[in-house]
Amino acid sequence: MTRIFNSFSDLIGNTPLLELHNYRRNRQLGARILAKIEYFNPAGSVKDRIAWGIVKHAEEAGKIRPGDLLVDVTSGNTGIGLAAVAASRGYRTKFYLSDNISPDKVKLLRLFGAEIVTVKNEFFLDPQALDKISLRVQEENPGAFFTDQLANPANPRTHFETTGPEIWRDTDGAVDIFVAGVGTGGTISGAGGFLKSKKPGLKVVIAEPAEASLPTDVNPYPDEIDGVHKVSEVPREQLPRNFDSTIADEVIALNTSDARKTAQSLVAEEGIFAGTSAGAVLFAATQLALRPENAGKIIVAVLPDTGERYLTAAGEPAVSVDTAAIRDKVDLHS
């Protein structure tokens, strides 16, 4: 029997769940951590899912036709996913990005043929920034289709229909805790919502950047965790519409350096090179796995993209190449 795929969109989803055995043993974690490795998606991130979900929905509703321009605000991965979907289905793309996102993502966006408009990172300090940028995108691009990842319901719905069910299927319903970060809120609200609908006792936990990892008036360019935002103590109207603020049972805050160190440990101990927000999610999962009450439980951690997307990060290098030193320190495979 042949196994031939017929289009880019057929390659999206069904990403693997990898149990982090070495990582668990090295820290004597009571709980089991399963990493959902989203860089297996065809354009390299979890965002391929919503890119296709949004385009498919717009096509079915008769809102777009080949040749049309798709526009959005993105920290990179959604843009790359949309540009890839656009290439395979005949659309054009234009994206608004803050000027501190990883240069690797900017290069990829150009390579995929997207037009780019950069926005100063200070702009996002404005409490009304999300509404203002959405308005600007629409005003500057009359006739274009605004994919609107922050508020388009096709975003969380895609995770409700794909990411959540895949985790349920692949753990045979044994998942106890689901951990992810929040950019648009699509992953946590959609996949978390699906898993809670199946198992009401399941815990949903958010990994969020701590204060030191956030831009301020004094320091608008700190070393940020690309793609994720703070959600606790943020007024509802300043959160993305696609974020269901009732979904989380707990929020764990951490610094960018903790996220990077955790990503380095993951590559050193398991050979999985994931991005900074993946490091953040795994850091939070590790805190949960250390708690005695979670012994024996199954934690699923979403790793949104690959570390290759941050090799030439805007600030300090995403990964300093001291993996060998980490390996020397940790008693691996004992």
Nearest to ligand PMP of 164, 186 (CB atom): 186
- Tell me the residue type at 10: D
Is 203 a residue of the active site?
no
CA dihedral 142, 116, 208, 159 (to 10 degrees): 60
**230 included as an active-site residue:** no
For residue 27, give every residue at least 6 positions away whose Cβ sits within 8 Å of its Cβ, in sequence order, or none.
286, 289, 290
Residue type, 183: G
DSSP 122: G
Of 9, 15, 26, 75, which lies in the binding site for ligand PMP, with binding defined by CB under 6 A?
75
Q: What residues from 30 to 49 belong to the interface with ligand PMP (CB under 6 A)?
A: 47
Task: Examine residue 262 and tell whether it contacts ligand PMP (CB under 6 A).
Answer: no
Site membership for ligand PMP, residue 304 (CB under 6 A): yes
Cβ-based neighbours of 42, under 8 Å, separated by 6 or more: 8, 11, 12, 48, 84
Q: Pull the structure tokens for residue 280.
A: 């953040």
Work out the number of other CB atoms within 10 angstroms of the CB of residue 160. Answer: 21
Consecutive H or E run containing 111: helix 103-111
Report yes or no: 232 and 208 within 8 Å, Cβ to Cβ. Answer: yes
Catalytic-role residue among 9, 36, 45, 47:
47
Backbone angles phi, psi at 7, to 5 degrees: -160, 165
Q: Can you tell me the distance from the alpha carbon of 71 to that of 306, in angstroms, rounded to the nearest whole number?
A: 24
For ligand PMP, how many residues bind (rule: CB under 6 A)?
Answer: 18
Residue 229 CB, shortest distance to ligand PMP, in Å, is 8
Residue 257: CB partners within 8 Å, gap ≥ 6? 223
181 binds ligand PMP (CB under 6 A): yes
CA atoms in the 13 A half-sphere facing the CB of 171: 27
* Touching ligand PMP, residues 82-111 (CB under 6 A): none
Nearest CB to ligand PMP, comparing residues 155 and 265: 155
Q: How far is the CB of 275 from ligand PMP (least distance, A)?
A: 5
Nearest distance from C-beta of residue 71 to ligand PMP, angstroms: 16
Q: Which is nearer to ligand PMP, 166 or 297 (CB)?
A: 166
What's the per-residue H, E or C state across 215-268? CCCCCCCCCCCCCCCCCCCCCHHHCCCCCCCCCCCEEEEECHHHHHHHHHHHHH
Q: Which stretch binds ligand PMP (CB under 6 A): 59-67, 180-188, 193-201, 202-210?
A: 180-188
Within 190-229, the residues that bind ligand PMP by CB under 6 A are 226-228
CB closer to ligand PMP out of 29 and 239: 239
Note whether 303 and 274 are within 8 A (CB).
yes
Among 93, 187, 264, 265, binds ligand PMP (CB under 6 A): 187
275 near ligand PMP (CB under 6 A): yes
Interaction between residue 254 and ligand PMP (CB under 6 A): no
Which C-beta is closer to ligand PMP: that of 36 or that of 47?
Answer: 47
The distance of closest approach from Cβ of residue 66 to ligand PMP in the complex, given in angstroms and rounded to an integer, is 26
Min dist CB 77 to ligand PMP, Å, is: 4
Residues with catalytic annotation?
Answer: 47, 277
Applying CB under 6 A, the residues found at the interface with ligand PMP are 47, 75, 77, 181-188, 226-228, 275, 277, 304-305
